[in-house]
Amino acid sequence: MENKLALLYIGAGASLWGIIGIFVTYFYELGFSPTQVVAIRALSASLFLVFYVMIKNRQLFRIKFSDSKYFIGTGIFSIVLFNWCLFSAIEETSISIASILLYTAPAFVTIFSRLIFKESLTTPKVMALMTTFVGCSFVIGVLPNTHESISLYGFILGLGSGLFYALYSIFGKFSLRKYHSLTVTVYTFLFAAIAITPFSGLWNVLPLFSDIKVWFYVIGLGFLSTMLPFLLYTKGLNTIESSRASIIATIEPVVASLIGFMVFQEKLNLWQYIGIILVIAAVIITSKKSTKKTLISNELSL
């Protein structure tokens, strides 16, 4: 029964990550830019996480000033850039395509781990890389010459989200050696908020915050699609092995695609759906060889 409950936690967390496109799209309709939406996510998530840690264990706030470099990496070079690329890709392409291009992250992690940590390129890893490449080619329309390819800019944004998402695993690998995962997450979003807010121009859209719908979307983005799924996913990891958890988490792009189809009437062709299946399959192949620490750092960024 406990394992079934853990599976439910993991599935619920991944599903909540998958609905983020709803809030992002509605923010755009109200007049917010991608940079402003990134700032709203970072600020709101920071506030919710700080409040949670104050209740749970204030000792988790303690870090060494010299270790700020880790959170510059996770917060600025990963979270800020990853979110900006993802939200811009949603605006440029669609929720479905942006979410599946984000899932190229495990392929980037494999490449970075080989270059930085000298991890071996096993047969499953090579298979996963090739599967990801073919799957993405189908998703963006390059193969099999469907004449429905997305723009080059949209493709670069999508790959950029996967690239910077992957960097969280690399930077997070160092910080998790010294700090609790919740500490890493809190300071990641705090550093992200401090970095992006001065450049967001949020003060130019202050009148928009008089609309009650904006505050609903702020809570949805910061709590429902950021903090809550993190808590659910982490709780599930306490009971079941991380490889099973990561496989269940691939429900995220499926949920995102369903949201795009049912809520925003986004349409994909058969080859793009095949591409989505291939990318998810590559994630499953990669996850079977992943360690628990890597997977925790991978998933906490969403």
| Residue the block writes with tokens 């390819």 | 149
The span from the CA of 3 to the CA of 274, in Å, is 31
Q: Which of 55-64, 83-92, 101-110 has the lowest mean pLDDT?
A: 101-110
Q: For 184-212, what is the mean pLDDT?
A: 94
Backbone angles phi, psi at 185, to 5 degrees: -65, -45
Q: Model pTM?
A: 0.83
- The yes-or-no verdict on residue 150 having pLDDT over 90 is no
Q: Which of 148-162, 226-240, 260-274, 287-301 has the lowest mean pLDDT?
A: 287-301
Provide the percentage of residues in the chain whose pLDDT is more than 70. 87
Average pLDDT over the chain, rounded to an integer: 84
Q: For 193-203, what is the mean pLDDT?
A: 96
Q: What local confidence, expressed as pLDDT, does residue 287 receive?
A: 63
- Distances in Å between the Cα of 71 and the Cα atoms of 44, 96, 170 are 18, 30, 12
- The yes-or-no verdict on residue 8 having pLDDT over 60 is yes
- The yes-or-no verdict on residue 94 having pLDDT over 90 is no
pLDDT category, 286, cuts 50, 70, 90? low
More confident residue, 42 or 10: 42
- Best CA proximity match to 158, nearest among 248, 256, 234: 256
- The yes-or-no verdict on residue 186 having pLDDT over 90 is yes
